[in-house]
Chain A
Amino acid sequence: MKSSEKSFDVVIIGSGASGGAVAYMLTRAGFRVALLEKGGLVPRDAFSKDEIAYCRRDIVTPSLFDEYHVIEEKIEGKWVSTPTYESGWSFWNGNIVGGSSNFMSGMFHRLHPDDFRLLSKYGPIEGANVVDWPITYEQLEPYYTLAESLVGISGHFQPHPHEPPRSTPDFPQPPTQENGIVALFDKTCKAMGITPLVTPRAVLSQPKGGREACYYSNFCGSYGCSSGAKGSSREALLPQALSTGNLTLFTHTQATRLFSSDKRKIGYVETVHTLSKKKGRIYARYFVVAAQAHESVRLLFNSADRFHPDGIGNRYGQLGKNLIFSGGGSGQGYLTKEALKPEDFEALMQPGLFVNRSILDWYFIDDWWHGKFKGGLVEWMFEHQNIIRRAAAEIRDEHGELLWGKALGERLYRRFTQSKGLRFEIFNDWLPTDECFVTVDTQHRDIYGMPVGKLRINGHPQDLKVGSYIAEKCEAILHRMGAKEIYSSVSAAPSQNLVAGGCRFGKDQKSSVLDPYCRVHESDNLYVVDASFMPTGGSVAHTWTIYANALRVGDYLAKRVL
């Protein structure tokens, strides 16, 4: 081994939610861990609310001309491939220490026990590869609870038929503060026989450790948190891991290939420094891949060798299969000065405070006309307060004609001072199918010379049916509240920040890539812990489940493997 080559107990590739959780468990158990992150470390006090830098330029994600994906979509019956440098449709989600967890909105929900047994509960769906998980909710529950405590999830538990059971009575922190208009939302829902629930948030309402409570900046999602309130991996887990002295953080370090030392073992990971372009090797006894689902699959494909000619974990052709996203859609209506009571309007226009409401009533649907089927969750929030984005959405009139001059000025003034958008986002299962998967495209390579990930994207008709069913209910709530300009959009386009699957875990190595502890079936020392393990996605954002599962795997590695 050269002096520039290093050796550890474990190498973790990726510092986001899952990589951070495994690093936390292993370093506290005394193991020497190397954590690789392709981006840099942004200190907390450097996170500003700069809309231009964070939201309108590729500054915390790679330039799409340097690193990109190829997206295959079915257009008029034919599969059409488009590199993302062509489309501008980025599938990067925050490449700095802490990964995309820095930029999440932090609306956290657990999966329901029935999400772990979807096939048993609802039976097969034609054209969809629905399976039961190899573990149960009860096995994951202690780690949901651990994540709740470590991340610092605020909320208030309200019993509901579709709320999963808990081993603790309530959340460790009370809910974050709410805008006064929420009273009108609650009243409206209750009048319609709908139960509004407080949304659990990975946002501190009270200080915790070295992290400050939320200061209600009015700009949360898409931005790093400058108080430490948001429960990112960088804030909630990595400081504790670093404090053990057992964690070595390699920033600007991209893993390009895993190298096998024999048929069942990885010997080292080849890296490239993203600034100097210098190559390196890091040796370890165990390797944990946590690079985000589609990038982890890409790394395994790009690590093909004589032992694994079709990619590591692909002996039975399962690698990259059953890629999933979050199905559903979104909608919005404007609450206006003219439609609200003066006191309600005044409350509405207070900046910063959250809506923090969820509806679980349609998580499982039993409709006299539509029948019984798995539904989804709805999150309610204000439209994103980004000022430039909101203004840019107003430069065309209702006929699509450009507006400028005084007409634009008046329109912007009305929009910003006389109304506020109330938004809903629907999360339902993106059913796994044979037509949604990840491979690599050897015709397209990134600036490091590695084939880029190629994502074939196709939704199942059931996803749209569920989303449309729920969107109709949500629009009715907005109508009842007196909102104007109500619209919703449910489409087969994926949410690129909610990607999962591709390394499905399961008991049968012929139909899965990972075993129930997320070890690659054909390897003794390689684990994959990001959302790629998920065989089905549930009908909530994946992040809490990613945290919980990675803590479970980390616990297993620390106690029973290493």
Chain B
Amino acid sequence: MKRRTFILLSTSLVATVKLQPTPALKGLSKHRALLEALLAHLFPPHSALPSAKELGVIDFFIEAVAHPSFDRDIRRFIIDGTERFAHFAPDFIKANADAKERYLRRFVKNDFGDRWVARVMIVALEGILGDPIYGANRGGAAWRALHTRGGSPRPKGKYLEELGKIV
């Protein structure tokens, strides 16, 4: 699968918003409220998993995507998709749960939207089910919810940063 080729193709074929290059953090922070609402809808309360809001997944999400170790093309894809989603669903933040669901189901009808939401979910799952040191899986709450646990020993820092630059 030509992942990056796909991303570029879908950008040129489906694009509705022309993006200027933006620093990663700025591009994400600008839509923090939208992403937070989206994550809250994807990972709601009263589910088998702790909710995104309860875990503070938004902080992990922005930090993870902006981190230098994150694939730069996927970062661009996420930022690009966020811009498009903001354009597609301008009142998403204030919409009720049913309206949010309708927006999302319509957005994933095309290939780009489907892949963007999938990518957002996977990054969120990294936070929810990753080591608690990354901040989102607070106290291992999500591991407990699934009756599982991460490996031992646990990391002493994020992204092996405690070791300095390894490679």
Interface on A for B, CB 8 Å cutoff? 38-40, 42, 45-53, 56-62, 65, 82, 85-88, 95-96, 215, 217-219, 223, 226, 252, 274-275, 351, 385, 387-388, 391-392, 395-396, 402, 404-406, 408-410, 412-413, 416-417
- CB-defined contacts of B102 to chain A, threshold 8 Å: none
Q: How far apart are the CA atoms of A305 and B148 in the complex, in Å?
A: 57
- CB-defined contacts of A410 to chain B, threshold 8 Å: 47-48
Chain B, 73-121, CB within 8 A of any chain A CB: 104, 108, 114, 117-118, 121
Is B130 located at the chain interface by the 8 A CB criterion? yes
The number of inter-chain residue pairs (CB within 8 angstroms) is 162
- Asked if A48 and B153 sit within 8 Å, CB to CB, the answer is yes
Q: How far apart are the CA atoms of A57 and B68 in the complex, in Å?
A: 10
- Asked if A412 and B131 sit within 8 Å, CB to CB, the answer is no
Using known A-B contacts A96-B166, A417-B146, determine if residue A59 contacts B160 with beta carbons closer than 8 Å.
yes
- Asked if B47 and A40 sit within 8 Å, CB to CB, the answer is no
Is B44 located at the chain interface by the 8 A CB criterion? yes
Instruction: Pull 16 A–B residue pairs with CB atoms less than 8 Å apart, ordered by A.
Output: A38-B167, A45-B153, A46-B160, A52-B131, A53-B160, A58-B69, A59-B69, A60-B167, A95-B167, A387-B130, A388-B129, A395-B121, A402-B117, A404-B41, A409-B47, A410-B47
Which residue among B2, B122, B146 has the maximum number of chain A CB atoms within 10 Å of its CB? Answer: B146
How far in angstroms is the closest Cβ of chain A from B42? 4
Chain B, 27-41, CB within 8 A of any chain A CB: 41
- Asked if A392 and B122 sit within 8 Å, CB to CB, the answer is yes
- CB-defined contacts of B149 to chain A, threshold 8 Å: 351
Is B21 located at the chain interface by the 8 A CB criterion? no
The interface on chain B, measured as residues whose beta carbon lies within 8 A of the other chain's beta carbons, has a size of 53
Query: Knowing that A218-B151, A406-B44 are A-B contacts, what are 9 other residue pairs whose CB atoms are under 8 Å apart, sorted by A's residue number?
Result: A86-B4, A87-B4, A219-B150, A275-B165, A385-B151, A404-B42, A412-B48, A412-B49, A413-B49
Using known A-B contacts A85-B4, A87-B3, A416-B147, determine if residue A61 contacts B167 with beta carbons closer than 8 Å.
yes
Which residue among A59, A82, A417 has the maximum number of chain B CB atoms within 10 Å of its CB? Answer: A59
Contact for A88 among B4, B150, B167, CB less than 8 A: B4
How far in angstroms is the closest Cβ of chain B from A396? 8
Which residue among A56, A85, A351 has the maximum number of chain B CB atoms within 10 Å of its CB? Answer: A56
Is B20 located at the chain interface by the 8 A CB criterion? no
